[in-house]
Amino acid sequence: MSFPEVGLSCSSPASSGGDRRSIPVLGMGTGVLPFTPDQRAKMKLAILQAIELGYRHFDTATLYLSEEALGEAVAEALQAGLISSRAELFITSKLWCSDAHRDLVLPAIRQSLRNLKLDYLDLYLIHWPMSLKPGELSFPIKSDDILPLDLRQVWEAMEECQRLGLTKSIGVSNFTRKKIVELLDIARIPPTVNRVELNPVWQQNKLREFCEEKGIHVTAYSPLGGQSSSLGRNLVLESQVLKDIAEAKGKTVAQVSLRWIYEQGVSMVVKTLNKERIEENTKIFDWELSDEDRHKISQMPQYKRFYIFLSHGDMFLIKKIEDKNNY
């Protein structure tokens, strides 16, 4: 099985290659926090199962601690003949905030490549529009460690990563329109992707329209509402609107949510280690929503669910990251 792909913006003439990249619409996320040692084997097995089912985009990050498991799975998939070459895969990783400093960007991507045992990434993203004090990777974040992001300096280093061939494309994650405008004003190589929380209860219509206007592709994370609130609810999977559509279509709520995202021209990364759900998520391409379905979804109340945890003494606070950084 092969999944549809979406073309990314052409690289700048100043970058290496200048080729047009394509990103598979459906990808697998590997961000399981906290990532414990016993999850490594489960993650590797799930990635191999996903490759067998046709997945070709895999999303990781320094923060997730899953780069080594992904790299091992890629090596095993090559050895087993599940793929004929590394070039069949689209691998994304991300720069964590403590490395979001000009002199730390190149060492960070090189460490990610060592973890993955790869020569290059297909896409490297700034994980959040913020910096932390340099140091060891730590999560939850200490509020006292948060620093303003020197976007010009960090983006110049990201551009150098692309010019050196360490990544085919560069982009951002969790950037608002305001931050993208700031970036486009200084960028020699514009971002190809903005990876953001997106699902039927957080549709990001204005941001998607803006990114399309600027030639920036949007990739959705938490497409099934996985970033739940402090009450532990998942407003996507609990939605009666989506349940009614799913029942009428003979599909699951998850499939309806993913199909809606696909119909928006957005790619997505879905996170699960369950083989049945990995396969279920692939069954969204041979049917479509009706105009009535789309209208009902467009009228759903909107709630942003992603929160970042900040440590404060012995207590953990939950705070929206955009409140902290005023973007």
Question: Mind listing the pLDDT tens digit for each residue in 154-189?
Answer: 999 999 999 999 999 999 999 999 999 999 999 999
Are the CB atoms for 260 and 237 separated by under 8 Å? no
Q: For residue 306, which of 194, 175, 198, 180 has the smallest C-alpha distance?
A: 198
- Give helix then strand counts, H and E, for the chain: 11, 15
pLDDT for residue 308: 58
Q: How far apart are CA 321 and CA 128, in angstroms?
A: 9
Structure-block tokens of residue 268: 């997505």
Q: Tell me the three state secondary structure of residue 9.
A: coil
From edge to edge, which strands make up the β-sheet containing 141-142?
141-142, 308-312, 315-319
Q: What span, in angstroms and rounded, lies between the C-alpha atoms of 155 and 223?
A: 27
What are the chain's domains?
A: 20-320 (3.20.20.100)
Distances (CA, A) of 71 to 74, 89, 93, 218, 273: 5, 12, 12, 25, 16
Is 217 known to sit in a ligand binding site?
Answer: no
Read off the pTM: 0.92
Q: Mark out the alpha helices in 53-176 (DSSP H runs).
A: 67-80, 102-116, 151-163
Residues in the chain where the model's pLDDT stays below 70:
9-20, 227-232, 305-327
Structure confidence at residue 232 (pLDDT)? 66
pLDDT score at 19:
54
Distance (Å) of CA 81 to CA 48, 52, 104, 152, 174: 11, 10, 36, 43, 36
Active site residues per annotation: 64
